[in-house]
A and B are shown apart, each in its own frame.
Chain A
């Protein structure tokens, strides 16, 4: 469904991604793992049109995404939950959600909003509260709900467990598992390699802007290098 084919992209004079190729089938959860600065966030930004594809191609279904604006990419059915959550602090929970479905007609926005409140009851309780006053865990739930608002076929998630307590991390990963059931494909960028490999079908290891390793989550969990570098060494 999603193909990133030999993609080069970066900032200013610097190429961060160097001929990255990844693919994702409908209904799959893919994990992209890598150290700080490996280019994981850059990969997501490139897919959603926040930065330009310099070489190669990004396709979704039979649609070429190269050169589309982020708004157009959302219309194609891809949503992006950014690293660090980026909740609008002075807007209410409800306004945060509605803005994530900006392109939708009013009636559809309303039904998506109800669906989100049904799924995340803490958000329903806080719908008139300013986003900035939510706890970290609640903000992450809001960020996930914002990602779901446009009813995407594919969600890109950038470190959804970052800075959360273990219990909340559990909730986040449960939510992701639940999303798979409902047919949303997921591209998950994570530092938390253990949990991501438990959840994902396949995974890619990104090292300095290149795919160093790829395989099923099961294969990678057993790989010595992955164990050493990302699973905290199990010797």
Chain B
């Protein structure tokens, strides 16, 4: 493999990794704050992408607006999911909450199939035009948008968590939910806010990656698996870990795919197994504690 090919594969891998990072950060944010592993993160994004597709094709919404509307729609979906599904089950068992997210995943797939049918569709990229050449690296315009979106999202998330009182409240809940309630922090509204943010991130990620696949109810399945690999690698507990884990997975996957295309996807399972065996806390994990 020449150095140029290596560089191209790496940068292109970073753009894929940025998507895994976006999905993974959303999962970790929700997991750490609300203590729920959201197995519907990918399909939330899928469903929102269908909504965006509907906006573009049927409602003729201008392309520039779609990204913002889709993110807003994601936030609303997250709010509704927390308010009308998670909240009522929260006080019961933890396992049922996780089962509920699996159910939610199927619900989104079913809804998408019912409302829009399952026929694969082409979803045009948000930006089009010739690829851009940066030194030896050739990068598609959409890929640059993806990278920028991931960086901006990470920055906003960081500012939210460390510079706003709602963010501080979310971090406090992740450390000691009981104490947060004792102090009079309105935990239900923080949960709702976190689901909204997490789901909006899912929508953004899905919308950015869908041009690489075709729009169909299952397109986020593998992406979610890789996002989970990313958070296992990053250490489950930290949003930063999920971001770094996502980037590493994206790059490694791309390099592996070049040499051994057949094992591109199953390779992730090998990574999960190795990480769990050798580095059970992940790169940035602190054990079983809940951290943000």
- Mark interface residues in B158-199 (1 if CB within 8 Å of A CB, else 0): 000000010011011001101111111110100000000000
- Cβ–Cβ contact A50 & B176, under 8 A: no
Chain B residues near A88 (CB, 8 Å)? 171-172, 175-176, 179
Closest B residue by C-beta to A96: B172
CA gap between A78 and B179 in the complex, in Å: 15
- On whether the beta carbons of A91 and B168 are closer than 8 Å, the reply is yes
Q: Is B226 in contact with chain A by the CB < 8 A criterion?
A: no
Tell me the interface secondary structure of chain B in the complex. Answer: helix
CB of A74 closer than 8 Å to a CB of B: yes
Instruction: Identify which of A13-21, A99-107, A172-180 touches chain B.
Output: A99-107
Question: In the complex, A99 Cα to B164 Cα: how many Å?
Answer: 11
> Which chain B residues border A50 with CB–CB below 8 Å?
181-182
B291 CB to nearest chain A CB (Å): 7
A95 to B164, CA, bound (A): 11
Q: How far is the CA of A75 from the CA of B183 in the complex (A)?
A: 11
Tell whether, in the assembled complex, residue B179 and residue A73 are in contact, meaning their CB atoms are under 8 Å apart. no
Please determine whether B175 and A80 come into contact, CB atoms closer than 8 angstroms: no
B182 CB to nearest A CB, Å: 5
Q: Is A37 an interface residue (CB 8 A)?
A: no
Establish whether residues B184 and A90, one from each chain, have CB atoms under 8 Å apart when the complex forms: no
Is the pair A98, B182 in contact by a Cβ cutoff of 8 Å? no
Contact partner of B184 (CB less than 8 A), chosen from A89, A91, A103, is A103
CB distance from A197 to the nearest CB of B (A): 26
Is A91 a contact partner of B179 (Cβ separation < 8 A)?
Answer: no
B183: which A residues are within 8 A, CB to CB? 74, 80, 99-100, 102, 146
Residues of chain B contacted by A99 (CB below 8 angstroms):
165, 168-169, 172, 180, 183, 185
Q: Contact: B168 with A71, CB < 8 Å?
A: no
Q: Which of A58-91 contact B (CB under 8 A)?
A: 69-71, 73-75, 79-80, 82, 86-91
- Across the interface, do B185 and A69 meet the contact criterion of CB distance under 8 Å? no
Nearest B residue (CB) for A158: B182
Whether a CB of chain B sits under 8 angstroms from the CB of A48 is yes
The listed residue (A69, A89, A98) touching B168 by CB distance below 8 A is A98
Q: Are B165 and A89 in contact (CB under 8 A)?
A: no
- Binary per-residue interface labels of chain A (141-153) against chain B in the complex, 1 for a CB within 8 Å, 0 otherwise: 0000010001000
Chain A contacts of B182 at CB under 8 A? 48, 50, 70, 80, 82, 86
Binary per-residue interface labels of chain A (214-228) against chain B in the complex, 1 for a CB within 8 Å, 0 otherwise: 000000000000000
Q: In the complex where A74-B184, A103-B184 touch, is A86 in contact with B171 (Cβ < 8 A)?
A: no
**Known A99-B168, A102-B165; contact A91-B175, beta-carbon cutoff 8 A:** yes
Are A75 and B184 in touch, CB under 8 angstroms? yes
Give CA–CA (A82, B183) in the complex, Å.
9
The listed residue with most A CB atoms (<10 A of its CB), out of B171, B178, B182, is B182
Of B171, B178, B184, the residue contacting A150 (CB under 8 A) is: B184
Note all chain B residues with C-beta closer than 8 A to A100.
183-184
**What B residues does A74 contact at CB under 8 A?**
183-184
CB pair B179 A71 closer than 8 Å? no
CA distance A155 to B291 in the complex (A): 30
19 contacts between A and B (CB under 8 A): A50-B181, A69-B186, A70-B182, A70-B184, A71-B184, A79-B184, A86-B178, A86-B179, A86-B182, A88-B176, A91-B168, A91-B172, A91-B175, A99-B168, A99-B183, A99-B185, A100-B184, A102-B169, A102-B185
Q: Which residues of A contact B (CB under 8 A)?
A: 48, 50, 69-71, 73-75, 79-80, 82, 86-91, 95, 98-100, 102-103, 146, 150
8 tightest Cβ-Cβ pairs between the two chains A and B: A74-B184, A86-B179, A71-B186, A71-B184, A88-B175, A82-B182, A100-B183, A88-B172
